[in-house]
Amino acid sequence: MPARQLALDFEHRAAFGLDDFLVVPGNADAIAWLDRWPDWPGQALAIHGPPGCGKTHLVHVWQAATGGRIVDATAITTSSIPDLAGGSKKPTLAVEGADQGVDEVALFHLYNMTVEAGGTLLLTGCDAPSRWTIKLPDLASRLSALPSVPVELPDDDLFGALLVKLFADRQLRVGAEVVTYVASRIERSFDAARRLVAELDAAALEGQRDITVPLARQVLNAIENLDNE
């Protein structure tokens, strides 16, 4: 099966005490930039990609490595800036969802205070900052100048390979028919793949069963029912 061959090309990295993650073509550039911290032009970096591509996971890995602080963009207000940017000599901050309804004046001041203090700022969004709808000209100018790197969802072959690798990491023997079955029925994202493999592992262990298509169907139904509650 092509996915089995592809899986051998994945770099396997420890995630600093978090769940392991895989370096694949869709996230390799972003990981390389995170590894360069704090040597970022302008002391800031933006990573962007569609929901489920793994941005949040990467941010938490980065946080564990740097001791940084993660804040949701909606929580940034003018009054919160002294705590966020003034809590350390060189503040290290990640702002998630920075393209979703952020207080532009507050983000502008947070950026300036962080940079002036010699700190670093990591931003995430669905699109590159140059595409964000920013009305404040000074903020738009600063964001457009940031290095920006995409994180992509896996294509069909890569997603199959990802599932094979996740099963192999848990030492689970799974036939190609199971991989094919689940790959066409779950969200094409790293988070969905990790969740499904974990649930299948738990179900197989509890029932002392092999992972088969019927078991996969059962677990998928259970996940769907849980999500719809």
**Structure letter (DSSP) for residue 51:** T
pLDDT, tens only, 152-175:
888 887 788 889 888 988 889 899
d(CA 201, CA 186) in angstroms, rounded, equals 16
Q: In the structure encoding, which two tokens stand for residue 170, read together?
A: 């848990």
pLDDT at position 53 over 70: yes
Q: Structural domain boundaries of the chain?
A: 2-13+154-228, 28-150
In the CATH scheme, what is the code of domain 28-150?
A: 3.40.50.300
d(CA 146, CA 148) in angstroms, rounded, equals 6
d(CA 48, CA 35) in angstroms, rounded, equals 16
pLDDT, tens only, 85-119:
766 678 999 999 999 889 999 999 999 999 999 99
90 SS3 class: coil
Instruction: Judge: domain 2-13+154-228, CATH 2.40.128.720.
Output: no
Q: What is the pTM of this model?
A: 0.74
d(CA 146, CA 159) in angstroms, rounded, equals 30
> Given pLDDT bands bounded at 50, 70 and 90, which one contains residue 201?
very high
Q: Say what angle helices 176-183 and 156-169 make with each other, to 10 degrees.
A: 120
